[in-house]
């Protein structure tokens, strides 16, 4: 009996690892596309814009570069690293720190981009438009995640309400 539960737990861990790998590769691909776009726009177009959008894009590109290398490196070495004790906590900690920084940096970018809508639209249109696209994509992904979470919570509440009403009716 214990062997069956141990085997089931190992299979759940492998499925969880596989799902994490898919999400990590997808995230790395999205980040890589954003980095390439940012690097191209920052190197081709010079700006006379005195707004901090160029700084925001530069730091965003650097952080995404680190996170992409971290994701790709850990997933490429995952078979060797997953047997090391404590590796998942290191992965989770670094990933959480980077994600928290990115969330705050996106909020700062939204404030800078929308504070004065016409500030860089003429001088640095490409950078301004990239900022709008990056912010829209980022907050769109977060919105989809939050809607999924809200859906799960609603289904759980409806299910527990049905169970509760069923238990009240039964003798």
CB atoms within 10 A of CB 110: 17
Three-state DSSP state, 151: helix
When the pLDDT of each residue in the chain is averaged and rounded to a whole number, the result is 79
Domain ranges of the chain: 2-139
User: Can you tell me the distance from the alpha carbon of 156 to that of 140, in angstroms, rounded to the nearest whole number?
Assistant: 24
Average pLDDT over residues 74-99: 75
List the one residue out of 140, 117, 139, 137 whose CA is nearest residue 128.
117
Query: Which is more confidently placed, 32 or 165?
Result: 32
Q: So what's the pLDDT on residue 70?
A: 83
Is pLDDT at 115 greater than 60 in this prediction?
yes
Has this prediction a pTM greater than 0.85? no
């Amino acid at each position: 009996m214990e062997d069956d539960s141990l085997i089931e737990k190992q299979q759940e861990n492998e499925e969880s690892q596989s799902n994490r790998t898919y999400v990590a590769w997808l995230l790395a691909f999205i980040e890589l596309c954003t980095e390439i776009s940012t690097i191209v726009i920052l190197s081709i177009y010079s700006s006379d814009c005195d707004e901090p959008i160029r700084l925001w894009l530069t730091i965003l590109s650097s952080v995404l570069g680190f996170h992409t290398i971290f994701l790709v490196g850990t997933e490429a070495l995952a078979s060797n690293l997953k047997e090391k004790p404590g590796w998942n906590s290191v992965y989770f900690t670094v990933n959480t720190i980077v994600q928290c920084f990115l969330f705050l940096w996106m909020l700062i970018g939204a404030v800078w981009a929308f504070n004065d809508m016409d500030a860089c639209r003429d001088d640095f249109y490409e950078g301004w438009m990239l900022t709008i696209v990056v912010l829209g994509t980022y907050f769109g992904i977060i919105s989809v995640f939050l809607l999924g979470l809200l859906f799960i919570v609603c289904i759980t509440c409806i299910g527990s309400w049905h169970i509760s009403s069923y238990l009240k009716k039964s003798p």
